């Protein structure tokens, strides 16, 4: 999380971002490809390089932190979180949700994991000429339902139409504003050895649901997207262990593995995951085996990762499990001194392996 | 402009929006087409119907006003304006600017015409697989330059990549936050008979520049987009005639004609334009004749329309002309009792004709 001004924590956060930009400059973060690839949008290593080499370099300011889900700003003394996300999921409709649900919950969740109370959303549509008006209506009504459920209001919008073949039905951008009502600074660099790593529920349901909905796997499964607003389980957690929550991140593109790598890199600490403790549904595991991918890289749209003071791990877990969206929560690992900047997985067979950031894009357009 | 809570003006604004939604319901605003057409994104009549029949109906809340360039919200007592705009201009680069410039200035201007000081922007990119990284860098650097010139900071962002053929190079959404530091309520319903209608400079440069850049007209012309941030000329105007400015609107999609129709409809008053007084460059007039369109419908990206107390018209004009972006400003017409809800043009030949809202989309993807 980046911060605007004021406390020492905020100043050091600014300092950290500037250092990060400087490091990227010094090591000359460079996009090697001459053309944009799907991997640049996958949320993993290529995305990180693109952001450092192109966006951070140009927009060079202490608010912009590629690691954060939103920017924390001070507006006339009101601590506000501002965030944006674009949705290009294909197909638009899938078991458990649709692009409209994702567009609302995705931005609500970016605000929630910054510790903010989500309040207002904008909605920007790009429609392809020929898109059925009935589908648009369905998407918009779904957004309205999701917004009501999350307690946010869509207050401003925009619609553009492009010619046939210049989009894929419907893309939606939402930006969101939330208010920081708690006196807390959630940041990856606050992680400490001995902290517990919690996952708020079984991972990968969303990504696998999308793959199944595309018919790319010749299996049938009783599975639905996990798309859900997370502000309530987040609030339950923050209430249960005041001052004990160090980092919150929603595990979307790149999955839990990528989020934890970002935390490990920023904190310059290790994260040790216990494979047996990471909650994954058997059907998700099965589909991932067929796809040849690790569920740790599969996107969720209603799950988050929390790094919590180890002493309060059980209290935190109980708080999460007390909420319907967190009933499958688990303590999946811990923060350690070693290996610095990396994520280590203790496998169910007793071995260990390094879990890197996502490379390539095995599951394009899942959000 | 819609408002959150508080003053009587704000309450009546809420009331007005709710009445508008109700009227749309009663007359059953209906999208007749089964599929989305380019006209639905053109900013004119079809866009208005789509917004009323689909968006207002679903999102039914007093903040959302399809007539406004942004929503005014109260965040812990801080009056904040929130707005969003998506940019799909083709080509991406054109004389006088590019999609990056537009994406910054467009949202800065939406905030400015709501009376806010533009402060923070988000940026959401949709990139097509294969888009040249060098072009992306050029766009992003252009955004950074435009942001610095407008005094805003890009604080949060998102990048998605879609497969080849599912976009057109690069689309950008920006959302913006500004702070309302003045005690004013700018709203179309504040217009009064006798008010002056000012245009901040020659109209149509942007739209015609885009058409020429596409090579769709076999003419060469020394013309560039008018893309520019408007917060400074707006501030100059508001300072010069405190309390005398009723309405401000930037004249983008649908042009001056559409903006003025929206004002006339909301205020239930007439607007009488003097064709000879509307500033249009000869080259723009010439291109429009070839295209068979009226410059009043051609988008600007650095011009606004102001409805000002008639007694202060000359002071307002002088204030606008005192700023480089407003040196071509003119008093183009006045508000009248008749014709209620419509715009009348007194032609250079001494006749009069009704200037309706934009119908169809003669110039798709100009922003």
**Residue pairs spanning A and B at CB distance below 8 A:** 288
Q: Which residues pair with B125 in a beta bridge?
A: B159, B172
Indicate whether A139 and A278 sit together in one domain.
no
Q: Are residues B62 and B81 in the same domain?
A: no
Measured CA to CA in angstroms, residue A317 lies from A138, A237, B83 at distances of: 37, 8, 38
A86 has pLDDT over 50: yes
**In sequence order, what are the beta bridge partners of B179?**
B80, B117
Residues of B in contact with A123 (CB under 8 A): 84
| Residue to test with chain B: of A13, A173, A180, most B Cβ within 10 A | A173
CA B13 to chain centre: 20
For the stretch B331-354, pLDDT in tens is: 999 999 999 999 999 998 999 999
Q: How many CB atoms lie within 10 A of CB B290?
A: 13
Compare B5 and A50 and report the one with higher pLDDT.
A50
CA distance B209 to B287: 10
Q: Please list, in sequence order, all residues whose beta carbon lies within 8 angstroms of the beta carbon of residue A332, skipping any fewer than 6 positions away.
A: A197, A198, A199, A256, A273, A274, A277, A278, A279
Please state, in angstroms and rounded to a whole number, the distance separating the CA atoms of residues A238 and A222.
Answer: 33
Average predicted confidence (pLDDT) for chain A: 91
Co-location of B192 and B333 in the same domain:
yes
Same domain, B54 and B116: no
Range of the domain at A48: 1-66
Order the strands of the B245-250 sheet from edge to edge: B245-250, B304-308, B196-199, B330-336, B270-274, B343-346, B352-355
> Is B363 within a domain?
no
Question: Quick check: B111 pLDDT over 80?
Answer: yes
Examine residue B360 and state whether it is found in any structural domain, yes or no: no
Fill in the DSSP letter of residue B144: H
Residue A66 has pLDDT above 60, yes or no: no
**What DSSP state is assigned to residue A53?**
I
Least Cα separation, residue B154 to chain A (angstroms): 7
Token duo for residue B258: 């559409």
Whether residue A175 and residue B122 make contact (CB cut-off 8 A), yes or no, is yes
B134: three-class secondary structure by DSSP: helix
Taking only the tens place, the pLDDT of each residue in B172-212 is 999 999 999 998 889 999 999 999 999 999 999 999 999 99
Same domain, A217 and A99: no
What are the b/e assignments for A118-128, b being 16+ CB within 10 Å?
bbbbbbbbbbb
Residue B10 has pLDDT above 60, yes or no: no
Is the Cβ pair A78, B83 closer than 8 Å? Answer: no
CA-wise closest residue to B104 among B365, B302, B320, B363? B302
CB contact under 8 A, B155 and A61: yes
Question: Tokens 């508080």 sit at which residue?
Answer: B6
Decide if pLDDT at A192 tops 90.
Answer: yes
Domain end, chosen from B181, B207, B238, is at B181
Answer whether residue A5 shows pLDDT above 50: no
The vertex-A315 CA angle with A206 and A7, nearest 5°, equals: 85
A117: domain CATH number?
3.30.1330.10
A51 contact residues in B (CB cutoff 8 A): 157, 159
Query: Is B286 within the bounds of a domain?
Result: yes
Residues A158 and A290 in one domain: no
In this structure, is the dihedral angle defined by the CA atoms of residues B67, B69, B73 and B77, taken in order, positive or negative? negative
In a domain, A325, yes or no: yes
Task: Check B129 against A31: CB less than 8 A apart.
Answer: no
The single-letter DSSP state of residue B253 is: T
User: pLDDT value at position A56?
Assistant: 87
| pLDDT of A3 higher than 50 | no
Do B197 and B282 fall into the same domain? yes
Average pLDDT for residues A98-105, to the nearest whole number?
98
Smallest CA–CA distance, residue A154 to chain B, in Å, is 7
Q: Is B317 helix (H, G, I), strand (E, B) or coil?
A: helix
d(CA A12, CA B227): 38
Q: Is the pLDDT of residue B145 over 50?
A: yes
Q: How far is B189 from chain A (nearest CA, A)?
A: 19
From CA A98, how far away is CA A7, in angstroms rounded? 41
Complex ipTM: 0.93
DSSP-derived 3-state class of residue B5: coil
Using an 8 Å CB-CB cutoff, list chain A residues near B123: 84
Region A39-59: mean pLDDT is 91
Residues B95, B222: one domain? no
Q: Among B348, B215, B334, which Cα is nearest to B263's? A: B334
Q: Are residues B202 and B92 in the same domain?
A: no
Which residue reads 């009792």 in tokens? B337
B331: distance to nearest CA of chain A, Å? Answer: 30
- DSSP 8-class letter at B2: B
Out of B34, B143, B155, the one facing A64 most closely (by C-beta) is B155
Mark which of B66, B92, B123 sits at the end of a domain. Answer: B66
Does a cis peptide bond (omega within 30 degrees of 0) precede residue A189? Answer: no
Query: Residue B219 belongs to a domain with what CATH number?
Result: 3.90.650.10
Give the H or E element holding residue B288: helix B282-291
DSSP per-residue string spanning A293-361: --GGGS--SS-EEEEE-GGGHHHHHHHHHTSGGGTT-EEEEEEESSSTT-EEEE-TTS-EEEE----S-
CA-to-CA dists, residue A23 to A17, A18, A333, angstroms: 10, 9, 29
């Amino acid at each position: 999380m980046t911060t605007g001004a004021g406390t020492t924590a905020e100043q050091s956060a600014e300092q950290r971002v500037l250092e990060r930009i400087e490091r990227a400059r010094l090591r000359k973060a460079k996009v090697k490809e001459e053309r944009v690839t799907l991997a640049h949008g996958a949320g993993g290593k290529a995305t990180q390089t693109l952001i450092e080499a192109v966006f951070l370099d140009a927009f060079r300011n202490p608010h912009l932190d590629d690691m954060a889900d939103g920017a924390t700003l001070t507006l006339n003394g009101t601590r506000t979180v501002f965030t944006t996300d674009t949705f290009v999921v294909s197909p638009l409709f899938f078991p458990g949700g649709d692009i409209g649900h994702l567009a609302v919950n995705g931005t609500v969740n970016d605000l929630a994991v910054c510790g903010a109370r989500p309040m207002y959303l904008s909605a920007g549509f790009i429609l392809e000429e020929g898109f059925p008006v009935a589908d648009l209506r369905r998407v918009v009504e779904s957004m309205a339902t999701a917004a009501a459920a999350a307690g946010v209001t869509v207050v401003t919008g925009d619609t553009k139409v492009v010619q046939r073949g210049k989009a894929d039905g419907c893309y939606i951008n939402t930006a969101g504003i939330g208010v920081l009502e708690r006196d807390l600074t959630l940041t990856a660099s606050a992680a400490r050895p001995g902290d517990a790593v919690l996952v708020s529920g079984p991972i990968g349901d969303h990504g696998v649901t999308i793959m199944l909905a595309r018919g790319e796997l010749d299996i049938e499964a009783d599975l639905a997207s996990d798309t859900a607003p997370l502000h309530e389980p987040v609030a339950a957690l923050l209430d249960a262990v005041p001052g004990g929550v160090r980092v919150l991140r929603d595990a979307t593109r790149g999955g839990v593995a990528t989020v934890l790598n970002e935390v490990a890199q920023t904190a310059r600490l290790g994260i040790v995951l216990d494979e047996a403790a990471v909650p994954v549904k058997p059907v998700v595991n099965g589909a991932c085996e067929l796809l040849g991918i690790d569920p740790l890289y599969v996107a969720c749209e209603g799950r988050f990762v929390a790094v919590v003071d180890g002493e309060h791990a059980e209290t935190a877990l109980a708080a999460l499990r007390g909420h319907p969206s967190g009933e499958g929560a688990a303590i999946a690992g811990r923060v350690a001194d070693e290996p610095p900047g990396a994520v280590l997985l203790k496998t169910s067979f007793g071995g260990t392996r390094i879990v890197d950031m996502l490379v390539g894009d095995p599951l394009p357009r899942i959000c």
